[in-house]
Structure 1
């Protein structure tokens, strides 16, 4: 597919409302994860989009929510928490691995105790992105607002444990940032506003400038251990295949143009992160790592036998071709075993995929948390 190829007009309108503007497997059940040695991580903080939102959108006036069945079908207690998957997110597995907590709670949950807050929260919001326009399209929480919530969080904790202890908690905490897919799939390629101003290379530059501002602000707030996820192979998302294939039902394959955009972005992102490490590093020991999710997810899709997946280009919920958010609902058909599917709905990975992604970046997390 060439960069000039466009979706049919009715599909663009549909997507503008629908899309969430978001070693071999050892067991079918994700289960618990092994903890690292010499752990000194007191908390985890997460920023980004639906890949990291554990339920903040439950408390936002938006239609993009996942707090109803069948979401959460395989979560403990079969609770639809607001996570856009059948169970846990990669950030949950990371939190468990570093020994902080089993599940990362959404910051906007009014029932959180001070103990919940002290071990960290997620500020992520499904549909968000680095481009300020992206969250506006679905009325969700922007990255700048997520930073404001983080500042508010610090004040709440300071009132209980004091400024010095709060500062030490922040400096030793793990920070995860996962966003960018919505900026391309939903914003740039679906809504024509940005394409009137930017071509693809200049839009990438714009996004990375926004990302740099975000990272700089995060560093200024005391973050010292930051992991940044790259983009996935966007052309392999079931909804992207459906919208951009001549016969998406019978002949389904990744659309390499979209994945090539992700590869190019990820390459530049890694270069930027290296530069940020040098420019933002100081005596307090800032440490930034790139979390590669592109290659492991691509491996799962193209090496199905190695990972024991039976379905890689459609989701478990509904037809798996278009359903996500409110179209994946209690009346939807759901596959019998989501662990056989790379994707839970037409956009978001299954819990098992999230665990495999965590395992793929585990060495990077180890580097991030080492003393």
Structure 2
């Protein structure tokens, strides 16, 4: 009884600390010399670009956004904020990173950064086609369009200076494996796993080169999560009798291998341009799930619906939703809760400190 009381007290203290620190972060506890943040990738960093394109893969409806300020369903695939929102607000760049495709954004908002990311996208063009979302090539084209608009508004020299000093985040790759390679037979008929990984890395290299050609100088490159621990992956990839028994190690092993390849290929030259910093989300998320750190009670299913299959339009106003998302690692069957995103942000602070250095 005493041990349980102590455990509950510790969890309560951690929850209070999280809420208090989050409130401090939302006010911007640091002031960065970085004038703007620009984001590319998939649903881990898409604040709502898919709201403005013809795709069923959206989340601009309840219960998504239930714990976002104002309880707004912004199009973020979680109950609240994303890691990039926490990064931007903590370093005093802006409170939240908006989607570029929101036509209501004024130039002042645009000048401090936007996200071009699209939920469902990937480094393989086929991945984006499967969900009818914005490819990485199209995201780069939108960035080019953004630069042209900026040059008209503030002049070429100021625009180029802003692009040079800004911070960039690229978070992409999970859909290429979970939805595409392991989810459908098309790529497996053409590529071995090793060949497919090389294919993705070549595409990523081209994307990074495209950013470098536009004057980008510093970039955070986010690795893959422990993909075998996603509830959807456990549901679809585990034998029926083993469902609920834990992560699918063979799928998580692919993420670890790919992450090492990312680091080997893109972060060995500190003097290269752009300067690339690797952001590890695998380790902290794995620790939260496997070690039950920070008081998360439910680690293998999402808060929305059954938590085993629902995401996007399958997680909707008619879905049963847990009462307290802070006890869940996952919001739906794929995406973490806002509280997990906060802890991922906290784990990345040392990396971001280096990343945001002039």
- Asked whether the two chains share a fold, i.e. TM above 0.5, the reply is yes
In structure 2, what is the Cα distance between the partners aligned to 1:84 and 1:38? 28
Tell me, yes or no, if the aligned pair for 1:241 and 1:248 is still in contact at 8 Å. Answer: no
1:320 paired to 2:313: no
Deviation at 1:35, TM superposition (A): 4.5
1:57 paired to 2:50: yes
Unaligned 5+ segments in structure 1 are 1-23
Q: Secondary structure at the match of 2:35?
A: coil
In structure 2, what is the Cα distance between the partners aligned to 1:276 and 1:51? 27
Match of 2:321 among 322, 334, 349: 334
Q: Secondary structure at the match of 1:63?
A: coil
Q: Secondary structure at the match of 1:27?
A: helix
- Structure-2 residue corresponding to 1:298: 286
Deviation at 1:38, TM superposition (A): 5.8
- Structure-2 residue corresponding to 1:7: none
Which stretch shows the higher mean deviation, 186-195 or 28-37?
A: 28-37
Q: Deviations over 1:275-299 (max 9, x none)?
A: 4655x43xxxx32100000000000
1:115 paired to 2:111: no
Q: Secondary structure at the match of 2:205?
A: helix
- Structure-2 residue corresponding to 1:152: 145
Q: Deviations over 1:199-248 (max 9, x none)?
A: 00010001000001101111111111100100000000000011122347
Deviation at 1:111, TM superposition (A): 0.5
Tell me, yes or no, if the aligned pair for 1:128 and 1:134 is still in contact at 8 Å. Answer: yes
Q: Secondary structure at the match of 1:361?
A: helix
In structure 2, what is the Cα distance between the partners aligned to 1:308 and 1:56? 33
Q: Give the number of equivalent residue pairs.
A: 342
Check 1:248–1:365 CA distance in 2 against 1; reply closer, same or farther (3 A cut).
Answer: farther
Deviation at 1:310, TM superposition (A): 0.6
1:350 paired to 2:337: yes
RMSD: 1.6
Match of 1:27 among 18, 38, 45: 18
In structure 2, what is the Cα distance between the partners aligned to 1:70 and 1:37? 32
Match of 2:193 among 200, 207, 220: 200
**Higher relative contact order, chain-length normalized (CA < 8 Å, sep 6+):** 1
Q: TM (normalized to structure 2)?
A: 0.92
Tell me, yes or no, if the aligned pair for 2:31 and 2:93 is still in contact at 8 Å. Answer: no
In structure 1, what is the Cα distance between the partners aligned to 2:338 and 2:38? 20
Q: Secondary structure at the match of 2:259?
A: helix
- Structure-2 residue corresponding to 1:307: 294
Deviation at 1:32, TM superposition (A): 3.9
Check 1:31–1:194 CA distance in 2 against 1; reply closer, same or farther (3 A cut).
Answer: same
- Structure-2 residue corresponding to 1:241: 234
In structure 1, what is the Cα distance between the partners aligned to 2:348 and 2:172? 16
In structure 2, what is the Cα distance between the partners aligned to 1:37 and 1:338? 28
- Structure-2 residue corresponding to 1:289: 277
Q: TM (normalized to structure 1)?
A: 0.89
Q: Secondary structure at the match of 1:312?
A: strand
In structure 2, what is the Cα distance between the partners aligned to 1:346 and 1:311? 12
Tell me, yes or no, if the aligned pair for 1:324 and 1:347 is still in contact at 8 Å. Answer: yes
Q: Deviations over 1:333-363 (max 9, x none)?
A: 1111111111100000000000111111111
**Structure-to-structure mapping, 1:1-371, within 5 angstroms:** 26-28=17-19, 30-33=22-25, 35=28, 37=30, 39-247=32-240, 251-275=244-268, 277=270, 280-281=272-273, 286-304=274-292, 306-371=293-358
Deviation at 1:28, TM superposition (A): 4.8
Tell me, yes or no, if the aligned pair for 1:28 and 1:339 is still in contact at 8 Å. Answer: no
In structure 1, what is the Cα distance between the partners aligned to 2:246 and 2:23? 31
Deviation at 1:36, TM superposition (A): 6.1
Tell me, yes or no, if the aligned pair for 2:235 and 2:243 is still in contact at 8 Å. Answer: no
